[in-house]
Structure 1
Amino acid sequence: MIVRYLLISVLMFSKLLALPNRIDNLEKQVSVDLQSREKRQLSSLGPRPTDSNSANCDFQSGDEVGMCGWKNLDNTTVLKWLASKGSDAFWIGGPRSDSNNKNLEGGYIFFETSTLPHTVEGENTVSAMIQSPVMTSTGSKGHCVSFSFSISGLSADRLRILLHPSDSNEINGEVSFNNDVVLESLLDNTRGKWKEAKVLYTFPANHSLIIEAIPVSESNQARRYRGYIAVDDIQFKSGDECGGHCTFDSGLCNFKNEPEGEFSWQVGRGSNNPNTGPQRDHSSFSTNRITGAFAYIDAGYPRKPGDRARLSSVQMQATDKGDEEPLCLRFWTHMFGNGIGALNVYIRGSNSGDRKVWSLTGDAGNNWYMGQAPISSIEPFKIVFEGVVGRNSLGNIAIDDISITPGVCPTAPQVAAPGPGDCAFEDDECGWNNPERREGVDELNWDRSTPTDGNRFPLTDHTTGSDIGFYMQLSRENVQQAGDRAFLVSRQLNGSRTAKCMSFWYFMYEPIVDTVGPNLGKLAIWTRTIDGDDNLLMTPVWRLHNGHGPSWAYGQAQITTETDFQVIVEGVWGNNRASGFIAVDDVTIFEGECANLPASAEIVTGECTFDRDSCGWRNTSNGESFDWRMATLTKRPANLPDKTYGAPIGYAYFDIFNSGSRTDKVRLVSPEIKSVGGGDKLCFSFWFAAFGAGESTTLKVYKKDADKLSEDAINEKIDESAEQPIWELNAAELDTARPDWEVAQVSVDGRKNMRLYIVGQASNGGFAIDQITLNKANCNTRPETADPSKKLPRS
């Protein structure tokens, strides 16, 4: 027994000696299992989150161009972003320089929008998506993300910035993007330029941003044309560095309550009264988050009707003259309760005071609604939100998610516009109307249309970029002849010495070009005023001819006038078969000077197509029966169609026959043409057609300094013994059996104000002229035989 006991004791003691090693091994195995499980979990969640600095990227330069930590979503889309540089732009696409415009070696990322991938079942072939590194919570101040972007080409549609929560579900290794939030959508062509945008957002958990480039649909023939969407200089900063932007999640951002108000705006998370005020902030309302706040006015005690609270932004720089001028202010507002007063938005100039740009009154329902207004100022300015208490305490007004984006926008909702003119045509025509038929001023109408009405073009409106949006389209019904036109007339606008600019988007496309050449027609902007003698005055301010591609293009025109006025949008068909499409959308009228865009649409004094009048050119002929006249249906030379549209009318001519041996002269005098800046030469160009016979049929152009001409002197004959023509042509040098249009041009000294004289002479013939233009450039004389310095003296 003793021996057995000893043996058992020894065995147990040996096991006790081995126990620490077994425990140590077990602990090691558990540690390995935990590490393996943690790795598997981290792998399923994606990369570990970092701070926002990891997402900053200028995409480097030269041979080092790269995407930093941004990555294409390979398992989600077959379309890819590329890192590139300007020196490779002609080779693989993209802009010719980076956003700094310093050299061709600066890096950026871009997506070639003409890419046509092989369709892969279950994969996205609609857009290219690139994702930032995973970032931790933004904190209440949020992230202010600035970036440069450039959009160009017929195949480019839009650029979107998406917020992607990192806890989104994964299925078979693919991430679900159903919970993504669109932070910004930019859909306007930047015309080859880089523009800067900012986005302010907050999110309480791990997340990433996705930059999405969307081309036009693969079914759209425009997808075949080269284009790109490019991004550069992505910078993440603290949310309080986004001047003019605010989510109110950490307070009033850089906005301040103004002391002139009777009370103050407050920040809150939700109303305590179900009969007024929002339940929650805008972003939480749309995504069902628990985070978020808004700014509001409390209409309860001790507030009285008419009390005002004013919230102003930091001071911002004046907007520049030119195509970069306007900005777009967007915000969300909640105006619910039967005691709602008013919400007003002002631009406060550093010297000029407050100017109202947006205003809405009354109950708008228990929802958040987006408001937007064009922002422009020739001096530094602030944006001021004013809340006005209504008739009772059920009048809380809230605002949230204020942002400023580059580019002009029409006022929304339309009823919030401070004056007539602004219109996106989504609800109605906003007071723009077609004249009554009995007025007899036009032959056609403008129709409020949508792509779903069966129109081949445009495929989308401009406002929404979809096929359900509305625009105004020049009617193709009842077109009788080339040159038929329609007027779209605004309500009366107040005149002012302050400069005003009209911006709009236009669509002018001719899918099938006639054998004689482009023949779509014309789009023009006029102002209509009444002078002191009650005469109706029509002043052209913008005009563009023929087609400009199957996409919406941006236009703007200066419409400043001191007297009350109306704006007229004129559409003219150049072809009675009306095979093309002319449309207008998103009209906005704002204060400020602006350059005419595109430059070719600028009205130059003296230019004329003779469609309806002579554009200020005056017939000063002394003959009783011979003069310059406008072609009519019943009287025109040799059935000659006009050069502009191929219409039976629309040009000027003189026609002198059967005058015996007497040679008669006719004179057409231009309006006063102002001196030009930036150069000393003007190219005077026109089209001419000769008919008749004989050396006596000539056409000459003279130039006179306008400062030396009295009204009587303008009407006097040209003294050919003392003055030499700058352009001269004899019909004997031309084939006049079948008159056809030919181009003429001559360079003119433009350093002084001047008038041009077109002098015709004939005893048995004549000339027609059309499409007079003046460009700031030097040019050779055409035809060469019209150069007086090269003509041999007659014996």
Structure 2
Amino acid sequence: MCIRKQTLGDISIDNNVCSPNVTYSTGELTTTSSEPITSTTYPPTIYDCDFECNCTCNWKHDDTINFKWIVTKGSTLTTNTGPDGDHTTGSRSGFFIYIETSSPAKFNDTVRLISPDLIVTNDEQCFRFYYHMFGSDIYRLNVYARINGNLGKALWQKEGNQGNQWLFGRISLRGNIQQPIGQPYQLVVEGIIGRGFQGDISVDDLAFNQGPCPVSTVCDFETSDLCSYVNDPTNTIDWKRFQAGTDSSLPSVDVTYSSSHGHFMLLKSDNPSRIGNGRLLTPNYPDTSGSCIKWYMLLENTATLNIRTYGFGAINSNILYTIHGTHGNQWKLAQTTVRSGSSYQVVFEGILNNTNNTLDFIAIDDIEIKSGVCDELGSCDFEKDLCSFQYLKADFDWKRTSYNIELFNAPQFDHTINNRAGFYLWMDRRQTIQGRKARIESELMLVEVRCISFWYFMNNTVGAQLNVYIRDPRSDTYSLIWSKDQIHGSFWALQEITVRPNMTVNGTNRFTIVYEAVVGSKTGDLAIDDLSTRSGSCLSATPPQSMYQCLDGTLIANTKVCDFIVDCKGGEDERLCGNCTFEGPINPLCGWTDVSKGSLMWKRGSN
């Protein structure tokens, strides 16, 4: 099935915001992808290809499989997947390669593009490329080093929908090719087809350079210089650069490459009796009124990680962020805001306790420091991306989309900007198997009284559910705190939930929020937007005594409820008005009016 895309020519800007509010939050993301800090010009090589020749340059298709990468320009054949132009020229006239996932392609079909021979060397070398993975059925993109015809383990891997954008990929080759110095190998770019036709994966601007990969805004520890990070000379245990997958007790993949060929920084002692601490310091950063530090982490057993700053020759006593103990076996993204009136260094301080004679460890990867304060915990308007939310493994994924993208087949307006171009998360109407689920998870939050707020849209569904859970990632325990399975009409409704410590798993100190969509017997529209949280109870959860709160947050007088006049957008003020106990002090007749004629009349009485 192929649906031709429309050609659109609109350019818009919206939602420019400056906020004085400062907080820190932790979270988890699907990927970390960053453009180089500066544009560097490298000499051309036989491995470079921008596909502007309407060919694959010196790269060859794998003739042992039936499917091939397709060279094209403009957009791919199917709507709601693939780019609308190439990366090289940024226009519809530029060329790129992609995999076509419409019929006759089927799940797990594979395409491969193979480079000319490269030679293993001890020198720094880098493979660079851009990739586009947009669509609800996106599966997997791999890069391999093929040795004597064998692929082995992937050097680099990405899976799932990465958003409607070209992203920068890079692989540091030195030390990652399992072949002796001086021997040949080939790079292989492999795309694997997902379960539906909205799974087009695109690649552009393949390039190779001698020397290190270009400097990025993210420190990924893929080169031995460690981005100029250094250990504190007073450490009792030093942080070390470690390759994923070389120890079964440690992370099997890193964050940067999502493979066993990637690296991360590790703090671990060599035996349980050796306890201690280690500090890893970043390079100097200038004074800031608010910068956001983001990093991925994994903690084991009873380890503690503190984030601090170093300035004027001393460690700042103020701890910006702290976390203790394990929180599951997946990489978690954390973030915190730093302010400093002078130049500073960020300090990653790990403390190993090795409780119960069990080795602790702390792993960190993909550290980024950007100007501007961090986002609120558990908050996202989806206008740019998923913020600090992450898709959880489920039957399918929520789809970040808009009315314009869906070609008028979804909620007409988002809630944030009340516009057809505005984004939200949506349960795709093509999901028709009842009971299938999609889940998205927030970052970690401290257990405390907290207000969860979100807007939801449920219309023309039958049996579909929207559920909200709080999850303890350590025990993988889900606690249902809110559920909705009734439609309310074609408008956005506000929901606020106060989370209290007694609602979480006993003994846990952090939790995440999970939003779950469940397919019903009829698929209409189910969407969420403008998710947020704040410390304290939800103040607006209970309206004033004389007022009634509509689902969209509008307040109307209680006297307007059940008066046979619809005042709420969804008509809920008149929906349940057939029943009346005649007990209320306000509007005791529930809108009923006595229309008796003659001497007998209905009157409200009591015993």
TM-score normalised by the chain length of structure 1: 0.39
Task: Please identify which structure carries the higher helix content.
Answer: 1
